[in-house]
Chain A
C-alpha cells in the first residue's frame, strides 16, 4: 500500500544543501502498525510529512495504493490528504474557534459529503472516542487528552486507510496517553494502517514493526510481538 523507492529530501540552507532524509526504500502493507523511531534530526518528521503527502520528496518514487504521488500538484496532494490519510499531531492542531463537532466535521466538508451523512458520521466518531457529551465544546474548554481524542476522531472522518501520528502522546499525561494508545490499538484491530513517529521507546513498544532512523537513513527495520 505504501511504497517508497529511493526517496530523499534535501533542503537548501543558503549555500549549503542539507540532506534531511534518504535515500530511503521502504514498503508498508495494509493493516501494519509501524513505529518510526529516531533521535531529533534523524529525519523522522520529514519522513512523516512525505508519507502524509504534506511535503514532496526531492528525489525518488512514492507509490500510494499503486499511484505515483511524488509528482502530484498541491491540489492533488490536498485531495490525497483529505481522503487517504488521517493526521494526529503532538499539539493537536484543532481549529480554536470551532467546536469539537465542527473540528471533526471539517475533512468531510472538504470532501463535499452531504449534511445528513456528515452528521451521522461525526456522531458515530465522537461515540468511538467517547466524547459525545463534549460535541459543542471548543478546544479551549477540553483537556489535553480530550483534545487529542477529538483529533483522532477528525483523522478518521473520511475513513482513511492510513493514520499518521506524530508524537501523539507527547503532550499528554500518562493516563490520557494510555487512553489514546488504547484507541489506536482498537483502530489497528479494525484493520487501519498505523504509523507513529516518535522517540518514545515505551510508545514504540506497542507497535508491531519498528523502523529506526539515523541521519536520515534506515538503521534498523524489524518486527516484534
Chain B
C-alpha cells in the first residue's frame, strides 16, 4: 500500500521521466513480441505450405543398382511393377502405398480448348496421402474406378480454370486425354503448396493407375509413394520396402541405392530446426532492445534512489527492515516494466493488425499466401519472462544501494 503511494507520488512528480522510461520499455516489448510473432507466422505458413504436398509421406524414386550381384554389374535400372507395390502393401510398417505413373505434356482437349499438361496415374489412397481434397460436388478416384479401369479424371483447380473457366463446376463434363474421352469426377480444392516434386498439384490431373497403364502402355511405375505407420518407424518402413524390392528383383540385399527417397518427416524436422534458429535470432534481437530499455530503467532507478534518500532514511529510522527497502525499489522497477510491457504488447497487436495493410506483390501472395503474424501463448510467456528478468536486473542493483543507505546520513540529506 505504501509502496503504491510512493510510486504514484513519484509518478506525479516525474511525469516526463516516467513516460520516457515506460515508452522505452514498451518499444522494446513491442519489438520482441512483433519479431517473435512474425517469425511464428512465417513458420506456420511454411508448415502449411509443406503439408500441401501431404503429411507423413515418403516419395521414392526407383534408381539403379550400385553393387554387383548374381552376375549382374552395377547400373542395372530398378523397375518397380504393379505387383511389387501390392506386395509392399502387405508390409507391417506401411500404412499406405501408391504407385504414381507420370505422363508429361499430355494433350487435354475440350470442345473449345486444347492444352498440354501433366497427367498422373494413381491409386485411390493417393488423394488422402497427398492432400488432394475435392471441391464440393466432386470426388477423388475410388477403388471401383481402379478395378474397372474407368475413364474418369480428377483435375487440379488451375486446369479447371483454363479448360472450363474459374468458379465453374465441370463435374460430369468430358475431357479428351490423348484422344480418349474422360469424365471429370472432381476438381481439387485450391490449396497452399510450397513443396512439390513434379510441379504443382493445381496444374496436374489424376486418373486411375489401371487406366493410365492401358492408355499409355506402361509397365513400370515412375514413383512410389509410401506412408509409414509413424514418424518413428519411417526409416524402417523405407528399408522394409527396399529389401522387398531387392529380394523380388534379385538385387544385392545390402544395396542402398535402389531408391532415391524424399522423407517429408526429415524435411519437416529440418524446417523446424531452421525456424527454431530463426525464432531464437529474432528473439535475441528483440531481447537486446528490451535490455537497453532495461538499462534505462536501471538508470532511472538509481536517480530515484538518490532523490529519495531522505524517504529511505525516514523509513529506516522508524524500523523498516533493509529487505523491505529492497523490495520497494524492486517492485517499483517491476511495476514500471510491467506497465511498459503491457503497453508494448498492445502496441505490437496494433502493428500486427496494420500488417494486413502492407502492400505485397500479387504473385507473392498467390504463391505464398499472405503471411499472418501469430502471437501465441508461448510467445507471451517468453516475453513476460524476459521482461521480468530485465525488470529484476534493472531493479536489484539500485534497490540494493537503497538498502545500504546509512540512516544517519540519509536523514541529514536534503
Residues of A within 8 A of B (CB): 49, 52, 54-55, 74-75, 78-83, 87, 89, 93-98, 102, 106-107, 109-111, 154, 157-158
Contact = CB atoms under 8 A, between A and B. Distances in A.
Chain B CB within 10 A, most for which of A55, A95, A102, A154: A95
B2 A109 contact: yes
Interface string B1-44: 01001101100000000000000000000000000000000000
Interface stretch (B135-143, B151-159, B316-324): B316-324
A27 B318 CA distance: 24
Given A54-B407, A98-B5, A106-B2, 4 more contacts: A80-B319, A81-B316, A93-B314, A95-B311
A78 B6 contact: no
Contacts, number: 70
Given A93-B314, A94-B314, A95-B311, A102 B319 contact: no
Given A49-B408, A106-B2, A78 B9 contact: no
9 contacts: A55-B407, A78-B319, A79-B321, A95-B314, A96-B9, A97-B8, A107-B318, A110-B315, A158-B319
A32 to B, nearest CB: 22
A78 B9 CA distance: 25
B318 A87 contact: yes
A74 B9 CA distance: 28
A79 B5 contact: no
Given A95-B6, A98-B2, A106-B2, A82 B318 contact: yes
B327 to A, nearest CB: 12
Nearest to A52: B317
Nearest to B318: A107
A52 B323 CA distance: 20
Contacts of A96: 9, 311
A110 B320 contact: yes
Interface residues of B, number: 22
B12 to A, nearest CB: 9
A174 to B, nearest CB: 25
Contacts of A97: 5-6, 8-9
B234 to A, nearest CB: 63
B316 A78 contact: yes
A106 B315 CA distance: 8
B278 interface: no
A109 B319 CA distance: 10
Contacts of A89: 411
A81 B318 contact: yes
Contact of A81 (B8, B311, B319): B319
Chain B CB within 10 A, most for which of A87, A97, A154: A97
Given A110-B321, A110-B324, A111-B319, A102 B5 contact: yes
B314 A110 contact: no
B84 to A, nearest CB: 82
Contacts of B120: none
B320 A78 contact: yes
Contacts of B314: 93-95
B2 A82 contact: no
A211 to B, nearest CB: 20
Contacts of B310: 93
Q: Which 9 A-B pairs have the closest CB atoms?
A: A82-B319, A97-B9, A107-B318, A81-B319, A110-B319, A93-B314, A54-B407, A55-B408, A49-B408
A134 B179 CA distance: 104
B319 A79 contact: yes
B383 to A, nearest CB: 32
B321 A75 contact: yes
Given A54-B408, A97-B9, A106-B2, A154 B321 contact: no
Contacts of A102: 2, 5
Contacts of B319: 78-83, 107, 110-111, 158
Interface in B303-332: 310-311, 313-324
Contacts of B8: 97
Contacts of A74: 322
A87 B321 CA distance: 17
Contacts of A157: 318
Contacts of A107: 318-319
Interface in B270-326: 310-311, 313-324
A93 B5 contact: no
Contacts of A93: 310, 313-314, 317, 411
Contacts of A111: 319
Contacts of B9: 96-97
Nearest to B9: A97
Contacts of B313: 93
Nearest to A96: B9
Contacts of B320: 78, 82, 110
A54 B321 contact: no
A75 B317 contact: no
A89 B407 CA distance: 13
A180 B261 CA distance: 96
Interface string B104-133: 000000000000000000000000000000
B2 A78 contact: no
